[in-house]
Amino acid sequence: MHAIADAAPPGVRLHTAVLPVTYAGAWTHLHNLIWQHQPQIVVCTGLAVQAETLLLEQYAHNRVSTSIADNGGNVRPNTVIVPDAPDSYPTTLPAAQLLATLPAAGIAIVSSDDAGDYVCNYVYFHALHYLAQHAPHVACGFVHVPPHAALPAPLLLEAIRLLVQVLQDGRRAGPCPS
């Protein structure tokens, strides 16, 4: 985690945390971090064991539907995350810029329309829903990361540095376009 924080461009404060991979704990922990730090941008990451590249998640969907238990042993088959909320929220990160900048630097990233049916999508949807209601000026997105064999740590750190740089540049220019 320190290596990620150290990858920040000058003038950027990065706050990093490892969220519990549980439905009960992930959003509670992230919500507390958002409340504590009042960020301008929230970027969540999660492991995608089948991925070969970074995946920029374009949408968070208001559902989880899996028979796989979280790390606390809880299963949430066919569950609406937030009743009476929209079916999905789009990322509020500058997706087009990220999808152009990282490959230009030799780091593969592709667009994904589905953050999955597990804790990643759960926390992503909660974050976008909360920010839409309470802090619509805060950009938010999710990037799935492939296993270490597909993206070694030095490349992952460079990807995060570039991602933060694009987001910082976008903040100087105004609201993040999608």
Looking at the annotation, which residues are catalytic?
57, 120, 144
Sheet with 54-57: list strands edge to edge: 41-47, 139-145, 54-57, 109-112
CA distances from 129 to 15, 31, 112, 139 (A): 21, 11, 19, 12
Q: Give the whole-angstrom CA distance, residue 174 versus residue 158.
A: 24
On the 0-12 / 13-18 / 19+ scale of CB atoms within 10 A, 77 is: exposed
Are 55 and 77 a contacting pair, CB within 8 Å?
no
User: Do residues 102 and 76 touch, judged by C-beta distance below 8 A?
Assistant: no
Q: Which element (helix H / strand E) includes 47?
A: strand 41-47
Which two tokens mark 105?
């630097």
Q: Do the beta carbons of residue 56 and residue 143 sit within 8 Å? A: yes
